[in-house]
Amino acid sequence: MSRVLMKGNEAVVHGALTGGATHFFGYPITPASEIAQAGARYFTLSGRTFLQAESEVAAINMIYGASGAGARTMTATSGPGLSLMAEGLSYLAGAELPAVVVDVQRAGPGLGNIWPEQSDYNAVVKGGGHGNYKNIVVAPNSAQEMCDMTREAFALADSYRMTVIILSDAYIGQMMEPVDIPETVSHGVRKSWALYGDAESRGNLISSILMNPQLQSGHNEMLQQKYRDIESTVTDYETYETEDADLVLTAFGISSRISLTVVKELRKQGYRVGLLRPKTLFPFPSIAVRELAEAGKAFAVFELNYGMMADDVALAVNGISPVLRYNWLGGIVPTVKEVAGKVVEDLGRIAASKRGGAV
């Protein structure tokens, strides 16, 4: 491997190319523009295809066509662009076409601003567009993971015939860190269902429309079963100092970086705090959360939105233990000291509650 200092946004492109990506269709948008810039340079230098579309709507429909023709294809955007892609993402799901989409989140709603937020969680993890569908969603928290998770996303997309979304944020996309770039390329293989314009694939049909309620129902049931299967095979997370923790911070993206420092600092002061970081947001590590709750751990979910992932944590906990919410909006990213102060305050309340006092 070669180690290079680069932004997380640029690392995405190196991950994509070593993951066998063949086509990039995109439209630049802050704070994801460096992905399109690096794509324009490195895809063309690598003999792959880069095309700047006239809009995000065009880009996602180009992905539909290229994926249907067997390509390993991708795009990158931020919240406003993702909104424009919603219909196309639903069509991709309905037609079971693999694709990779990178969302570098910024503050909203509307144009908002270009500062980091994590408010696209529900739109991405819960489906976003119309119909009963899911995307595989992974959440990097470093430039290295921007590379690695994007590389792995193409194999996942092909394996399950699904869109894989890399859900990042402005901090992770813009920060510069050393990245080990893989030296080998994981190329895709010919897909039995794709249309290659040859005699062998002539009988293949790619569509998301079934003009029969029973057929449409069966198609949806098949998709739901696929999503259930993914929950047992793709779920990924990491924990830190959770064994004896009274309170487990739960966070993804830049929030998890801050949370890890909070845990380390508070451990030095004698506080029993741990961290659970979901690496996949769908499938969500519900079983891991539930097991920690059953072991008597309280949770504090730290995210840059009004508490979207906290809803999933609460569902997994199912009332067994407290689920606290630490939320910042509008692009404000708290300091380690601010988050640690909330943790210490809540640990005091939890201790008082165990002694029979008021929470």
What is the pTM (predicted TM-score) of this model? 0.96
**Residue 183 and residue 14 in contact, taking contact as beta carbons nearer than 8 Å:** no
Q: Do residues 346 and 247 make contact, with C-beta atoms less than 8 angstroms apart?
A: yes
For residue 56, the tally of other CB atoms under 10 A from its CB is 23
Instruction: Write the DSSP string, 185-225.
Output: -------TTS--SSTTTTT----S---SHHHHHHHHHHHHH
Return the pLDDT at 1: 67
Residue 357 confidence (pLDDT): 53
CA distances to 20, 75, 263, 299 from 269, rounded to whole Å, are: 47, 45, 10, 19
- CATH topology of 2-233 equal to that of 237-354? yes
Query: Hey, where are the domains in the chain?
Result: 2-233, 237-354
Tens of pLDDT along the chain (359 residues)? 699 999 999 999 999 999 999 999 999 999 999 999 999 999 999 999 999 999 999 999 999 999 999 999 999 999 999 999 999 999 999 999 999 999 999 999 999 999 999 999 999 999 889 999 999 999 999 999 999 999 999 999 999 999 999 999 999 999 999 999 999 999 999 999 999 999 999 999 999 999 999 999 999 999 999 999 999 999 999 999 999 999 999 999 999 999 999 999 999 999 999 999 999 999 999 999 999 999 999 999 999 999 999 999 999 999 999 999 999 999 999 999 999 999 999 999 988 887 765 44
Give the residue carrying structure tokens 């988050």: 339
Beta-carbon contacts of residue 79 (< 8 Å; ≥ 6 apart): 103, 105, 106, 108, 112, 117, 119, 120, 123
Could you please state the CATH topology (level 3) that the domain comprising 237-354 is classified under.
Answer: Rossmann fold (3.40.50)
Structure tokens at 40: 């324009």
Neighbours of 193 (CB within 10 A): 14
Residues in the chain: 359
Task: Give the Cα separation of 23 and 21 in Å (integer).
Answer: 6
Q: Tokens in use for 311?
A: 């809803």
CA distance linking residue 206 with residue 194, whole number of Å: 8
Cis before 213 (ω within 30): no
Burial code (b: 16+ CB inside 10 Å, e: under 16) for 256-294 equals bbbbbebbebbeeeebbbbbbbbbbbbbbbbebbbebbe
Residues 115, 331: Cα–Cα separation, whole Å = 5
Task: Please give the C-alpha separations between residue 172 and each of 35, 67, 141, 146, 352, in angstroms, as whole numbers.
Answer: 13, 28, 6, 8, 37
| Structure token pair of residue 247 | 């309170």
Residue 128 has a pLDDT of 85
Burial class of residue 336 in the structure, from the number of CB atoms within 10 Å of its CB (0-12 exposed, 13-18 middle, 19+ buried):
middle
Q: How far is CA 269 from the centre of its chain?
A: 33
Q: CA-CA distances (angstroms) from residue 244 to 118, 248, 294, 296, 298?
A: 29, 10, 13, 10, 11
The pLDDT assigned to 346 comes to 96
Spatial separation of the C-alpha atoms in residues 173 and 74, rounded to whole Å = 17
Please name the residue ranges forming H helices in 46-182. 56-68, 79-84, 86-95, 121-125, 143-160, 170-174
Of the candidate CATH numbers 3.40.228.10, 3.40.50.970, 2.60.40.10, 3.30.200.210, the domain formed by 2-233 belongs to 3.40.50.970
Strand ordering across the sheet containing 280-282: 49-52, 23-26, 73-77, 99-105, 163-169, 136-138, 280-282
User: What pLDDT is stored for residue 218 in this prediction?
Assistant: 98
